[in-house]
Amino acid sequence: MLPTFNEYGMLPAGDYELTLDELRSSLLVVGPSPSPPNWDKEWRLSLVDNLEVMVRQLWAVGVTEIFVDGSFAEDKDHPNDIDGYFECDMDALISGTLERELNRIDHYKVWTWDPKARQPDRGSFKAQLPMWHRYRVELYPHFGQLCGIQDKYGNDLEFPSAFRMSRRDGRPRGIIKIGETP
């Protein structure tokens, strides 16, 4: 069970393991109580449905350590997307094997982290990966490398550290670990 959002509108620091079904019935989708008037439960549910497609593809290639957060894990009425990372084998990633296996499964062939594959989004100035354009979910591979995000002191972080702090103010926050459905 998830705790309620803290005074900063985030999950309290910690890892919270949820299955996809538990995620669908959590406060991240149904909203806190009392529910804010503009809470977009339908949008949040569609994001989880899209996340499920990608998570099942990762499971199919043997990836089980999957974590999600971003504005989806905050008290934002209408989050833009779901962000996350997954732990993977460095050799499978660097050789391109992981990307090829995932794209063999995905009908839209969206699995890439190549910056050249980013396309602008009409609603912003930010270029997004193909997976974001199709699913509104961005999942990044992690094998122990730095991720390009820095803490408030300018130190480079790995995904596990970076995803457990607010990018706005560096406060610690909670993250969701996707548990496998039995």
Q: Cβ distance 143 to 88 under 8 Å?
A: yes
pLDDT at 181: 66
Q: What's the rounded Cα separation, in Å, for the pair 167 and 125?
A: 18
Q: Tens digit of pLDDT for each residue in 26-43?
A: 999 999 988 889 999 999
What is the SS3 assignment for 98?
A: helix
Residues 6+ apart with CB under 8 A from 140: 84, 85, 86, 113, 147, 159
Q: Cβ distance 67 to 161 under 8 Å?
A: no
Residues 6+ apart with CB under 8 A from 175: 11, 14, 15, 16, 67, 68, 69, 73, 163, 164
Low-confidence ranges of the chain (pLDDT < 50): 182
Please report which residue ranges of 20-169 form alpha helices under DSSP H.
Answer: 20-24, 27-30, 41-60, 90-94, 97-105, 130-135, 159-162
Q: Tens digit of pLDDT for each residue in 14-24?
A: 999 999 999 99
Largest Cα span, the chain: 49
pLDDT at 148: 84
pLDDT at 161: 86
pLDDT at 1: 79
